[in-house]
Structure 1
């Protein structure tokens, strides 16, 4: 956890952890097709590692954009808005290979396709 981020956003570590969990949970929900798949994605350590790595990139961008404004008239609300804009990009990316592994259809379950539907 980056103390610079906590200071800029004017939040405590618990609030930061809660914010990150909410981001992750919402992202997992956006890529899942049902509740069972959501739970698998949420529990995947590989997906979580990927998400945190991408989040770190977003936060690096946040700091590059805001470091020059520390100590000026920029408020924590301004920093929060910038942080939100930086991490919003996470909603547009997916680790396709990791998600494919989770979304595999178990053997023995018939798959309905246009070819075998009568």
Structure 2
């Protein structure tokens, strides 16, 4: 599925990783109280793994809805569509994993 996401977005693997990390950083910012908790949340591997699985679920929807547009939309429009499809990631929260991160 990642290959399809890359194809729709018209990006390479490094560019995709940057998009994902930027999104994760924004998500972590929204779940943190201060710089110290932000650092803890950012570096919590179990939390990132959970978050990335949630993102992959949203990316399935992106691929399902966007596969027909491969090579028919420009990269900026594809990225806007990706962000609108994955925006619900900001509403998700794993209380046990956030608490685990805070205790690190």
RMSD in angstroms over aligned alpha carbons?
Answer: 1.6
Using structure 2 for the length normalisation, give the TM-score.
Answer: 0.88
Higher helix share: 2
Q: Report 1 or 2 for greater relative contact order, CA contacts < 8 Å, sequence distance ≥ 6.
A: 2
- In terms of Rg, which structure is larger? 1
Tell me the distance in 2 between the aligned counterparts of 1:102 and 1:68.
40
Tell me the distance in 2 between the aligned counterparts of 1:41 and 1:15.
23
Q: Which residue of 1 aligns with 2:80?
A: 81
Using structure 1 for the length normalisation, give the TM-score.
Answer: 0.78
Q: CA deviation at 1:68?
A: 2.7
- Structure 2 residue ranges without an equivalent (≥5): none
Runs of 4+ in structure 1 off by over 4 angstroms are none
Contact 2:4–2:67 under 8 Å retained in 1: no
Count residues with an aligned counterpart: 103
Q: Which residue of 1 aligns with 2:58?
A: 58
